[in-house]
Structure 1
């Protein structure tokens, strides 16, 4: 039996990587395939799950939704993303300090780390794999969009999966979420876990502090600051 007792969960988009161009292109293709006409407006994405983005995008584009739209759009989005695997390397980028931060957390004792993302699993795995982060993350226990759960519920699901895999219990307060939007801060609060908010997305440091983040960083570039925050938020818990 292992003795892992700390879990770090990373949001992917705008926290670890920027693949906005590929995402927009994949959504446009999926919309065309499912709806049969060009996408005019894509819904805002920060802090949202794929299903939230899809339903709001359909509404923005005057589509009356049915029960069939979400599974059809999700399947088309996965296929569109997979077809752009090479584009992830060509047009995507790892954000400043992300690789170093993930690598440093991987070296901490008694620590497991994975992802907690609004993306569907195949797309999330493609992003971190093609941009060189997957080897440091336990993707088997991640929380991914599945059309049912909120991000707060996905955080709890990731805790459960990690606990089952490593045969230990990860308390709520020993599970740190690292993300970039006020909606992510809210999800962590609902799940009872501390959050490190990084102003690498569309939210400012002031907005993240106002949302109630436990720690706010401008970027992940200061690796020592990231590690220190993780350790301080999980000590004596």
Structure 2
């Protein structure tokens, strides 16, 4: 990257992971549930659901649903348990999961385009984001240090400014709402863009269909990432 300041024509592209780039077939939910049971000591507990939440929010919601008071250091201690359980099931994640159509191709294109900075904005913690993309051979196609994650802040819209600040501090480019693009598959991805200040390219590869994504005023809605030219037009448009 060259000088500090706005760069017309450049884009900061921030990718969601689950159901956008990858589908790990519920392994993440199972690991979270097992880790929560071990952390809390509850033999049975009330699960909470909500696509696109940060893991921090997910943990907080599950604590409250089970009448457990949040502790200041609770999330960090929970993540230590979860990391150990995730590591034990790494092979299963690959066996059960898959890279979604077009994801590797578009990530590679963005990684090779000097006008695009490509990273992540995901509810996964950074460790889980790295674990998942590495398992499927996609880790070299994004710059993890420039993204924002589910252990950076409890509320997903806040991650947009965190990612932009990291980019500015690292490469000296100040991206704006017009030059920042989120790619995701659900209502929380759209809300993050709308409240955090970014454009949203929504893909109907998760639990939310295209009609619903359009009803939430996504800037662009695509069936999936398989048409590289269409995805690029949406990212750069």
Same fold at TM > 0.5:
yes
Structure 2 residue matching 1:8: 3-state secondary structure: strand
Decide which of 44, 59, 70 is 1:66's aligned counterpart.
70
Which structure 2 residues correspond to residues 66-215 of structure 1 after superposition, within 5 A?
66-67=70-71, 68-146=73-151, 148-215=153-220
1:222 paired residue number? 227
2:26 paired residue number? 21
* Cα displacement (A) at 1:173: 1.1
Within the alignment, does 1:2 sit opposite 2:5 as a pair? no
Q: Is the 8 A contact 1:28 1:38 kept in 2?
A: no
* Cα displacement (A) at 1:204: 1.0
Query: Can you list the C-alpha shifts for 1:152-198, whole angstroms capped at 9, x where unaligned?
Result: 21111111111221122212210100001112111101122100001
* Cα displacement (A) at 1:64: 2.2
Decide which of 17, 20, 39 is 1:12's aligned counterpart.
17
- Decide whether aligned partners of structure 1 residues 165 and 69 sit closer, same or farther in structure 2, where only a CA change above 3 A counts: closer
TM-score by length of 2: 0.90
What stretches of structure 2 of length at least 5 have no aligned partner?
none
Pairwise CA RMSD? 1.8
* Cα displacement (A) at 1:32: 2.4
Q: Which moved more, 1:4-13 or 1:187-196?
A: 4-13
Count of aligned pairs between the two proteins: 231
Quick one: distance in 2 between partners of 1:98 and 1:41? 34
TM-score by length of 1: 0.90
1:235 paired residue number? none
Quick one: distance in 1 between partners of 2:198 and 2:17? 18
Structure 2 residue matching 1:7: 3-state secondary structure: strand
Structure 1 residue matching 2:14: 3-state secondary structure: strand
Quick one: distance in 2 between partners of 1:63 and 1:188? 32
Structure 2 residue matching 1:44: 3-state secondary structure: coil
What stretches of structure 1 of length at least 5 have no aligned partner?
233-237
* Cα displacement (A) at 1:217: 0.5
